[in-house]
Chain A
Amino acid sequence: NAGVTQTPKFQVLKTGQSMTLQCAQDMNHEYMSWYRQDPGMGLRLIHYSVGAGITDQGEVPNGYNVSRSTTEDFPLRLLSAAPSQTSVYFCASSSGGREDTQYFGPGTRLTVL
Chain B
Amino acid sequence: LAKTTQPISMDSYEGQEVNITCSHNNIATNDYITWYQQFPSQGPRFIIQGYKTKVTNEVASLFIPADRKSSTLSLPRVSLSDTAVYYCLVVIYNQGGKLIFGQGTELSVKP
A42 touching B97 by the CB < 8 A rule? no
Are A43 and B101 CB-contacts (below 8 A) given A92-B43, A102-B46? yes
Flag B75-111 by CB within 8 Å of A: 1 or 0 each: 0000000000001000101111111111110000000
The distance in angstroms between the C-alpha atoms of A58 and B99, with both chains bound, is 9
Interface residues in A92-113 (C-beta closer than 8 Å to B): 92, 94-107
Tell me which residues across on chain B come within 8 A of A43, comparing CB atoms.
44, 99, 101
The distance in angstroms between the C-alpha atoms of A4 and B43, with both chains bound, is 10
- B61 on interface, CB distance cutoff 8 Å: no
What distance in Å separates the Cβ of B87 from its nearest Cβ neighbour in chain A? Answer: 6
Closest-by-CB residue of B relative to A30 is: B96
User: Which one of A32, A45, A92 contacts B100 once the chains associate, using CB atoms below 8 Å?
Assistant: A45
Are A102 and B94 CB-contacts (below 8 A) given A42-B104, A90-B43? no
Interface of B is mostly: loop
B104 touching A102 by the CB < 8 A rule? no
- A86 on interface, CB distance cutoff 8 Å: no
**Number of B residues, CB within 8 Å of A:** 23
Q: Given A94-B96, A100-B94, A104-B44, 13 other A-B contacts at CB below 8 A?
A: A32-B97, A33-B98, A42-B104, A45-B99, A90-B43, A90-B44, A92-B97, A92-B99, A94-B97, A96-B96, A98-B32, A103-B46, A105-B43
Query: Across chains A and B, which 4 residue pairs bring their CB atoms closest together, nearest first?
Result: A104-B43, A31-B96, A48-B97, A42-B101
Give chain B's interface residues, CB within 8 Å of chain A: 32, 36, 41-46, 49, 87, 91, 93-104
Tell me which residues across on chain B come within 8 A of A104, comparing CB atoms.
42-45
Interface residues in A3-27 (C-beta closer than 8 Å to B): 4
Tell me which residues across on chain A come within 8 A of B43, comparing CB atoms.
4, 90, 92, 104-107
The distance in angstroms between the C-alpha atoms of A31 and B96, with both chains bound, is 6
A42 touching B42 by the CB < 8 A rule? no
B101 touching A95 by the CB < 8 A rule? no
- Max count, chain B CB within 10 A of own CB: residue among A31, A95, A101: A101
